[in-house]
Structure 1
Amino acid sequence: MNVYLSTAQAKSIVLQLMQIFPEGVSLCDEDGVILSSSDTGRINRTSPLAKQCIEQANSGKLYNERVVDGNVTATPLFFKDVCVGAVLMLGDNEQIKCLTSIAKAVGESVIYQPYLKDTSQVSDIINFEFLSEWLNTPGEYSLDFYRRGLRNGIDVSQEYGVVLLDGIWNQLSAQKAVESILPHSNYYICLGNNSIVLIMRKGYDPSIIKELSMLFNDVSFATGRTGPNLNEAFVSAQNTMFAGKRLYPESMIYDYRDFEFAYAISGLRQVQFDTKINELFAQPIYDDLVQTLEVFFKESGNQAEVINKLYIHRNTLKYRLDRIQEITGKNPRVFEDLFYLYTAYILHKLKK
C-alpha cells in the first residue's frame, strides 16, 4: 500500500484545526511542501521547519513531538510507523504545547480514513497497530511511546502479563468470546488466523483462563510473566507454549511457572548424553519405560504415587526402574541420576 497525504485530506485537516489554532495552521506533505493552509498564499511552498520535523521523525531515533522556530510549531503526523506529513501551528508556544496531541489526533484520524470501510473503526485500527508494537518492543519505553499509549487509552507504565491462545479454528467466534469475558482495562490482539494474545493487567483473576478454556475445544492456553515490559511477558508465554505442548501435549493450560526451568534447560545445547540414553527416549520399544520415567519425574520419585498413577504392581515398577538403570547406567532412585535423566528427557522433547 502506497501511503500518501492527499490535498483533500490536507484541506480537511486544516479546516478542522483552524477552529483550534485561529492564528494560523498549515499542513505539509512528507517533503515539507505545504498542501493546505489558512493562509492560501503559502500553499506549494516548502517549509524548512516542517522538513526538519519530518526528517527527524523518520530517522528511526527518538524525536521531538514539537519542533519550534519563533512562534511556529511543527509536529509530525504518522500512518503506521511512517511519518507522512507535519502540521504547522502559529501562536504562543506554551499554548500550542498543550494542544499538540489534539492536532496529531485530528490529523492522523483523517489520514487513516481512506483505508477503512467505516470511520468508526479508526480507534480500533490505531489500537491494533499500537498493541502489536507494544508486544514487540523490548527494553524501556520512550517518552513518545508512553504518550502514544495514553492517546490510545493505554497506560504502558502499569505492569501487564500475557496469555497466549493457540489452535483457534474460528477467529470471529473466539474474538466474541474473549470480548464477552475479558474485563475492562485488559486488551487482546489476533496473531494470524490461529492465535490470540490477551494482555492482562497485573492481578487479573486466573479463573478467566479456565472460563475461556471451557468455551473452546482443542485450544491451548499459555501464561507468561507479569512485569513492566510486555515483550518479556509475551516471550515468556511463547516459551511456555513451546515447552508445554512438547512435554505435556495432553494438557490444554500451561502456566509459565511450571515450564521456566524446563525451557532454561533446553538452552544447554553443548551437553552430550550417552547414546543409550538417547535411544531410551527415541525407540518405541521403550515406551513403557519412558512413560514410567515421566510419572516418576512428576511425582518426584515417590514410588507409591507412581504405582497408583500407572495402576501397576510394585514388582512391575521395580523391574522397569532396574531396566532403565541397566540401559542407561543411571539409577532413577538416586537424585543426581534422576536429575541427569530428567535433563536428557527435556532436551530430547524440546529438540524434536
Structure 2
Amino acid sequence: MAQEMVDRTMKIINRNINVMNEKGVIIGSGDSTRIDSIHEGAVRVITTESGFEIRESDAKQLHGVKTGINLPINYQDQVVGVIGITGPPEEIRNYGELVKMAAEMILQQAILTEEMQWDERLKEELTMQLLQDPQDLNSMYFERVKRLGMDLHIPRVAILLKPENQSRGYQWFRDKREKDDLFVMHSDHIILLKKVDLKNGEWQDLKSLNQIENWAIELENDQQVHSKMAVGSYHPGLQGVSTSYREVVYTLNVGEKLDPHKMIYFYSDYKLPVFLAQANRYGIGEGMGPYFEQIKQHDKKGELLETLLIYIQENGDMNRTAGKLFIHRNTLRYRLDRITDLTNKDPRKVKELLELYLSILQNQIK
C-alpha cells in the first residue's frame, strides 16, 4: 500500500516520494535503496504529530533524510505513518497538503476494501454454516448475521454453478448476484442462494427459471464459458435452505450421469434418481434387485435394455414403442417376454415395471 501511494503520487507531481510507517521506517519510496532505513524527520513528525520541513542545513544534521517536507498520515485521528516529498521546501510546499490528502484517501480506500473483503468472506462462512445444519446454529451465529445485515428470513432457492473456466465463471456469477443473494465459493463450483418471489407460500418460479436459462446461454455464448447448473426447489425456513442445497448437489451428480449433454438440471425433473442417490449414501439403495445385471448378461447387443427404456419413456404404449424402435409389435412382445423370463418381472405390470426401472436407474447413477 505504501508503494502504491508512492507510485500514484509521483506520477502527479514528478517528485520523489517516501512513505514511512508508524516507527519512522521507510516502507515505500521512489528510491529503492532507502527502503527499510530509519527516517529521522519522520520520527519527529510522529512524535509531534505535525508536519516537518527539512532544509539543506537540517539534512546535514539528521540521519537518513534529504531536503523536503514530511507530513503525518492520519487515520481515525491517529498518526499511522508519514509521507515525505523530496525537494526544496519552498518549491514543493504547495504540494504538501494535496499529497497528504491523497495518501489518506488511498489508505481509507484500501482499509474499506479490506473490510468489505473480510465481510464477504465472513458472509460466505456464515452461509456455509447455514447450508450444513441449521439446527447447530447458536446465538453468536445470529449476532454475526445481524451485524452483517444478512436477512435469513428472505425466501431463497439453491443454485449450483460448475464452470469449466473457474476464474471467469466465478467472477461473472458474482457480478450477477443481487443484493439479497448469498453465495459460497468451492474449489470447483459455486452455490448461490437466490432470492425468490412467493405467492401464497409457493415459489413463482417462471421468472427465476427464465433468468437461470438466460444465464446459461450468456455464459456459453457471450463469455465462452461452458458450465453446468443445478436448480433446487423452494422449502420454507432455515432448514429449507439446507434442503434445497442438498437437492442441487445430488441433482448435478445424477444429472451429469443420466443426461451429460444438458446444461441445466432441475431437481423437479430428477426427484426419483436423487432419492436413489440419497438412499445409496445411507446404504439402503442396494435392495432394488439385480434385474439390470440379469438382463445385461443375456443382452449382448443391448436390445433388451434399449427396448425397456423406450417402453418406459413411452409410458408403456406398445404402438409408440414399436414405432420408435422400428420393430413389429410381435417383436416387441417377444422382447418383453424375454425380460420377464430373465428377471421374473413383467414390464406390462406397473409395479414390476417400476422395480425394473429403479434397478436400471440404480446402475446408471453409481
TM-score over 0.5 (shorter chain): yes
Which residue of 2 is the match for residue 269 of structure 1?
Answer: 285
| Amino acid aligned to 1:287 | G
> 1:284 & 1:198 partners in 2: Cα distance?
44
> 2:261 & 2:296 partners in 1: Cα distance?
18
> 1:331 & 1:293 partners in 2: Cα distance?
11
Report how far residue 261 of structure 1 moved: 2.8
Contact 1:281 1:345 in 2 (8 A): no
> 1:310 & 1:252 partners in 2: Cα distance?
27
Report how far residue 238 of structure 1 moved: 1.3
1:201 aligns with 2:195: yes
Contact 1:160 1:202 in 2 (8 A): yes
| Amino acid aligned to 2:321 | V
| Amino acid aligned to 1:269 | G
Question: Tell me, what secondary structure is at the counterpart of 1:189?
Answer: strand
Contact 1:223 1:254 in 2 (8 A): yes
Contact 1:322 1:331 in 2 (8 A): yes
Report how far residue 118 of structure 1 moved: 4.5
Report how far residue 295 of structure 1 moved: 2.8
1:165 aligns with 2:161: yes
Contact 1:277 1:327 in 2 (8 A): no
Contact 1:181 1:208 in 2 (8 A): no
> 1:341 & 1:161 partners in 2: Cα distance?
33
1:295 aligns with 2:310: yes
1:221 aligns with 2:229: yes
Question: Tell me, what secondary structure is at the counterpart of 2:134?
Answer: coil
Question: Tell me, what secondary structure is at the counterpart of 1:129?
Answer: helix
Which residue of 2 is the match for residue 177 of structure 1?
Answer: 172
How big is each residue's C-alpha offset from its partner over 1:78-116, in whole Å with a ceiling of 9 and x where there is no partner? xxxxxxxxxxxxxxxxxxxxxxxxxxxxxxxxxxx99x9
Q: 1:312 to 1:190 in 2, by over 3 A?
A: farther
How big is each residue's C-alpha offset from its partner over 1:294-348, in whole Å with a ceiling of 9 and x where there is no partner? 2322332233443455555545534433332333232212212211101211222
Gaps of 5+ in 2: 1-20, 22-109, 198-204
Report how far residue 131 of structure 1 moved: 2.3
1:186 aligns with 2:202: no
Q: CA RMSD in A?
A: 3.3
Which residue of 2 is the match for residue 253 of structure 1?
Answer: 264
How big is each residue's C-alpha offset from its partner over 1:33-68, in whole Å with a ceiling of 9 and x where there is no partner? xxxxxxxxxxxxxxxxxxxxxxxxxxxxxxxxxxxx
Percent identity between the two aligned chains: 23
Aligned length: 237
Query: What's the TM-score, normalizing by structure 1?
Result: 0.57
Q: 1:330 to 1:156 in 2, by over 3 A?
A: same
Question: Tell me, what secondary structure is at the counterpart of 1:285?
Answer: coil
1:154 aligns with 2:172: no
Report how far residue 281 of structure 1 moved: 4.4
Specify which of 115, 118, 121 is matched with residue 122 of structure 1: 118
Question: Tell me, what secondary structure is at the counterpart of 2:245?
Answer: helix
Contact 2:288 2:358 in 1 (8 A): no
Report how far residue 196 of structure 1 moved: 1.3
Which residue of 2 is the match for residue 234 of structure 1?
Answer: 245
Report how far residue 211 of structure 1 moved: 1.4
> 1:236 & 1:325 partners in 2: Cα distance?
35
Report how far residue 162 of structure 1 moved: 0.6
Which residue of 2 is the match for residue 42 of structure 1?
Answer: none
Query: What's the TM-score, normalizing by structure 2?
Result: 0.55
Q: 1:272 to 1:256 in 2, by over 3 A?
A: closer
| Amino acid aligned to 2:228 | S
> 1:247 & 1:317 partners in 2: Cα distance?
25
Which residue of 2 is the match for residue 88 of structure 1?
Answer: none
Gaps of 5+ in 1: 1-7, 9-112
1:212 aligns with 2:215: yes
Q: 1:172 to 1:310 in 2, by over 3 A?
A: farther
Q: 1:277 to 1:125 in 2, by over 3 A?
A: closer
Report how far residue 149 of structure 1 moved: 1.8
Q: 1:121 to 1:151 in 2, by over 3 A?
A: same
Q: 1:282 to 1:265 in 2, by over 3 A?
A: farther
Contact 1:281 1:348 in 2 (8 A): no
**Deviation larger for 117-126 or 240-249:** 117-126
Question: Tell me, what secondary structure is at the counterpart of 1:246?
Answer: helix
